[in-house]
Amino acid sequence: MQTLTLQKLFTTAQVASNYGITQDTIRDHKKDHSDEIIENLHFIVDKNDKNRPLIKWTLRGIIKLGMFIRSPQAKAFRLWAEQELEKSINDELEKARLTRLKSIEQTNRIANLEAIQISQAKHHQSVVNGYKAQLTKQGKKIELLKTKLTIAKNEAKSLSNDEELLKKLEWLFKRALADGVIYAINSSRDKIINDALKRASDEFMSNLHLLKNQ
């Protein structure tokens, strides 16, 4: 048998040579069985180097022709064509399987990335909500500090009419308030915030006591 590569299309000369018959016999079978030998399934019409029609046979076409040919080597050639067709089909199935697996993997990667993004978004939102809650708590602590220091300031004013003393108290009040706010803002735990507020209030009251005793 003439050696053939695994090309998908074969000329009439190649088919005739491997079946051990003439090209005219191939043409006769094509004409006599035109209802069974179908273009684009069993053969295609190509162009040769002179731009003339050139028949090329597929593996299915070779097998179909073998049904009408009786020759010593026809059986072997038909078997070869059948085996090559099976290989070709299996190759296409394998390609389709790999393509499907690749598509599934890509879909899974996309789904995983979307899940990660959703998870990260939820985490970021949780962090933001946590910061908002902390700011709310700190805001309440700051307001409490302002209230306590305002009360202390008013009490101090009622104890003295000394203008210089009142200016010092005013300065101490503002400094204590600023310190308390800074401590509260820089703190992320309630205990530290409470300590900061207490420290600012105690410092103010201590300085107030010293001034009163001068």
Kindly give the confidence (pLDDT) of every residue in the chain, 214 residues in length, as a single tens digit, with 9 standing for 90 and above.
444 444 579 999 999 999 999 999 999 999 999 999 999 999 999 988 888 999 999 999 999 998 898 877 888 888 888 888 888 888 888 888 888 888 888 888 888 888 888 888 887 788 778 777 777 777 777 777 677 767 766 665 665 556 666 666 666 666 666 666 555 555 544 555 566 666 666 666 666 565 555 5
The pTM of the full predicted model, rounded to 2 decimals, is 0.43
pLDDT at residue 139, as a whole number: 72
Q: How far is CA 116 from CA 111, 113, 120, in A?
A: 9, 5, 6
Structural domains for the chain: 10-72 (1.10.1660), 128-212 (no CATH)
The CB-based long-range contact list for 106-115 (8 Å cut-off, 24+ gap) reads none
pLDDT at residue 11, as a whole number: 93
Q: What is the DSSP string of 192-206?
A: HHHHHHHHHHHHHHH
**CB 184, CB 145: distance < 8 Å:** yes
Q: How far apart are CA 170 and CA 193, in angstroms?
A: 24
pLDDT at residue 147, as a whole number: 77
pLDDT digits (tens, 9 = 90+) for 21-44: 999 999 999 999 999 999 999 999
pLDDT at residue 3, as a whole number: 42
**Beta-sheet strands, E only, within the chain:** 10-11, 43-47, 53-57
